[in-house]
Structure 1
């Protein structure tokens, strides 16, 4: 066995096994997988009511700019090789753009949504019809308040289920029965992060051990311990990353589409071998949403 030597703190030579490298290990090679998404053009987008801390009806909203930002988001997915399906926007439903809140699809089974706010309640039926009209046979509508992928995050092995502000805790058991996957409940405690998908997202759902990113302060102490146990290698977001809804991101296992302001998070992801794709979603953020809120994944 060959050895090399370096100088120690006292200038004495220290023998090193030649197999030991002083170079930091390279980031893992990340492999993207093609995805299929459902989105809704924000034709009628505005902020005329407040159902979360981000919404202020007194502030002006530029619908044309929101449409342009959404279009760039859709085009980004398509440039990355993903398929984007569209549902028709409906007048008087300005938040219908947030498709992620309207359904959870795993293995071709669909669990629809039941919104907490009366303003958004009609969206659920339009999305249910879309699924039926597009050949989905297992479409189940919940009896409990359930804001779909807003609070139900599929990791590839378990379904993380948020509660605290929107989704009823009893909806977690209903999701397990409807989708046939194990569910782990997580308690949200900061009203700014009213949905699980603005506090946590999945980076890699195809690995033997899923990888996620999250903001610990959005969760109760017990839920933080659960996350630490489940995901010891998680990417931990800063307060600044969370505050621009940087965790409302979409990953295909390699490319991560996230708000342009989440610069520290983007740097962390690059260090882990991911390719951050920043997008400007600032106008749509006035309603408390980002890339993920606009994107329902169709896992057929």
Structure 2
């Protein structure tokens, strides 16, 4: 597994905040259909390798002091490992997912059942949305993606459910079909003393011109990631405000993070990328 840097946080000023995640062991992982440009059923997949790489990510979260809950994998639902798509959770309320493609539709009820059994208030979705894949909590705002999976109407529904400001962003590159493949949330919702200092990294060309203008205005200090690092799912990462778990192939992004005082933690999920997912895709944050 990746070995997290445990040097005192005072060295960088970045503060690691405790996180609680939901994950799903990829016991049934394979690529048997094609619903994104990364998937090619003709290419072989190695389920055992996918499980080992996933375990490394799980172990990394535990070593960093985070809590990880597990949802049981279901045979015939190979993409269930990408738990980020299973819903969006804030303050104990779980807004369920309603998948665009028929192959993934049964995942929605499975996740909502888990939320209900584990004490969350479940809101059934009306509009097509793919959970935290397209909805990212950044400080007091929710960035919401559309263009390939979640509909614009789901952004309105999201606003109605949580009562938060929702900022709509349009994705235009089919390789980056979920928002969490093109934006990484780096900073905690709150810093010391409750001061908001949310910031992001993003891939500019994944968005249309209007969305780029919005991001430039909201996050003038954001890290702009190269196409090369975006193409290895470098932005599909998880951060606790100090430690940022990223692909070891995103070399430029790794250097950018170090320059900003973050601690990159490298975890290889190359096998799961064959299904179009990475670190963040395998990680749904549970906010009580």
TM range (shorter): over 0.9
Deviation (angstroms), 1:209: 3.2
**Bigger Cα Rg:** 1
Instruction: Choose the corresponding residue for 2:252, options 239, 258, 264.
Output: 264
Distance 2:11 2:187 in 1: 14
- Partner SS state of residue 132, structure 2: helix
Which residue of the partner structure matches residue 95 of structure 2?
111
Distance 1:40 1:295 in 2: 9
Which residue of the partner structure matches residue 104 of structure 2?
120
- Partner SS state of residue 104, structure 2: coil
Which residue of the partner structure matches residue 273 of structure 2?
285
Is 1:155–2:143 an aligned residue pair?
no
Deviation (angstroms), 1:27: 8.6
Distance 1:176 1:27 in 2: 38
Q: Encode CA deviations 1:114-162: one digit per residue, 9 max, x unaligned.
A: 00000000001111111111111x2101111000000000002100000
- Partner SS state of residue 232, structure 1: coil
Is 1:196–2:179 an aligned residue pair?
yes
Distance 1:154 1:295 in 2: 14
Q: What's the TM-score once normalised by structure 1's chain length? A: 0.90
Instruction: Choose the corresponding residue for 2:28, options 20, 44, 59.
Output: 44
- Partner SS state of residue 104, structure 1: strand
Which residue of the partner structure matches residue 248 of structure 1?
236
Is 1:273–2:261 an aligned residue pair?
yes
Distance 2:205 2:53 in 1: 29
Instruction: Choose the corresponding residue for 1:173, options 156, 166, 169.
Output: 156
Matched-pair contact (CA < 8 Å) for 1:110–1:179: no
Deviation (angstroms), 1:255: 0.2
Q: Encode CA deviations 1:233-263: one digit per residue, 9 max, x unaligned.
A: 0011001110000000000000000111001
Distance 1:293 1:113 in 2: 14
Which residue of the partner structure matches residue 5 of structure 2?
none
Distance 1:171 1:76 in 2: 33
1:212-223 to structure 2, matched below 5 A, reads 212-223=200-211
Aligned length: 274
- Partner SS state of residue 135, structure 1: coil
Q: Encode CA deviations 1:192-227: one digit per residue, 9 max, x unaligned.
A: 000000000110032423110000000000000000
Distance 2:112 2:256 in 1: 38
- Partner SS state of residue 270, structure 2: coil
Distance 2:221 2:139 in 1: 16
- Partner SS state of residue 128, structure 1: helix
> Which 4+ residue blocks in structure 1 deviate beyond 6 angstroms?
none
Which residue of the partner structure matches residue 224 of structure 2?
236
Which residue of the partner structure matches residue 61 of structure 1?
45
Q: CA RMSD in A?
A: 1.1
